[in-house]
Chains A and B, each alone.
Chain A
Amino acid sequence: NAGVTQTPKFQVLKTGQSMTLQCAQDMNHEYMSWYRQDPGMGLRLIHYSVGAGITDQGEVPNGYNVSRSTTEDFPLRLLSAAPSQTSVYFCASRADREVGYTFGSGTRLTVV
Chain B
Amino acid sequence: RKEVEQDPGPFNVPEGATVAFNCTYSNSASQSFFWYRQDCRKEPKLLMSVYSSGNEDGRFTAQLNRASQYISLLIRDSKLSDSATYLCVVNMRTGGYQKVTFGIGTKLQVIP
Residues of A within 8 A of B (CB): 33, 35, 40-43, 45, 48, 50, 56, 90, 97-106
Listed residue (A56, A97, A102, A104) with the most chain B CB atoms within 10 angstroms of its CB: A97
Q: Are B43 and A105 in contact (CB under 8 A)?
A: yes
B64 interfacial contact with A, CB 8 Å: no
- By the criterion CB–CB under 8 Å, are B100 and A45 in contact? yes
User: Given contacts A42-B102, A106-B42, could you give 16 more A-B pairs where the C-beta distance is less than 8 Å?
Assistant: A35-B102, A40-B104, A42-B87, A43-B87, A43-B102, A45-B100, A48-B97, A97-B91, A97-B93, A98-B91, A99-B49, A100-B46, A100-B49, A101-B44, A103-B45, A104-B43
B61 at interface (Cβ–Cβ under 8 A)?
no
Interchain nearest-CB distance for A9 vs B (Å)? 11
Is the contact region of chain B dominated by helix, strand, or loop, or is it mixed? strand
Chain B residues with CB under 8 Å of chain A are 4, 8, 32, 34, 36, 42-46, 49, 87, 89, 91, 93, 97-98, 100, 102-105
Q: Are A42 and B97 CB-contacts (below 8 A) given A98-B32, A103-B45?
A: no
Task: Known A97-B98, A98-B32; judge A42-B103 contact (CB<8 A).
Answer: yes
CA distance A112 to B100 in the complex (A): 31
Cβ distance B89 to chain A, nearest Cβ, rounded Å: 7
Q: How far is the CA of A48 from the CA of B44 in the complex (A)?
A: 17
B50 to chain A minimum Cβ distance, whole angstroms, is 10
A2: shortest Cβ distance to chain B, in Å? 14
